[in-house]
Amino acid sequence: MFPSVAEICNRLGITSHGLAMFALEGADDLFGVACLGGECFGEAGKGFLRLSCAEPNDRLAQAVAFLSDAFQRRDRVSPYLGNHPEFVLREAYET
């Protein structure tokens, strides 16, 4: 899947690659979801995430529920961006 996360990125002030890394290592201390920021696929990929569906359905459901919650964790985004300024969104994505 290659969903647009431009609105989420704009709201949180984070690049889509930063959002992917946040989902893996910053949103929770015990759980994370591996995905790729669209920037990994070139300029046109900015504002998107690349998600693999090569897992059992129960794990995919767990990942989707986690992402929904993780993208609401503003209290964790600011410190994450403080430690990873390269992921600060400098210019809003088109939506």
Q: Which two tokens stand for residue 70?
A: 């993780």
Q: Which two tokens stand for residue 78?
A: 């600011």
Q: Tell me: the pLDDT tens digits for 32-70?
A: 999 999 999 999 999 999 999 999 999 999 999 999 999
79 band by pLDDT with thresholds 50, 70 and 90: very high
- In total, how many domains does the chain have? 1
For residue 91, being part of any structural domain is answered with no
Say what the pLDDT of residue 44 is.
94
For residue 79, being part of any structural domain is answered with yes
Q: What are the percentages of helix, strand and coil residues in the chain, rounded to 5? A: 55, 10, 35
24 band by pLDDT with thresholds 50, 70 and 90: very high
| Average pLDDT score, the chain | 95
For residue 1, being part of any structural domain is answered with no
For residue 16, being part of any structural domain is answered with yes
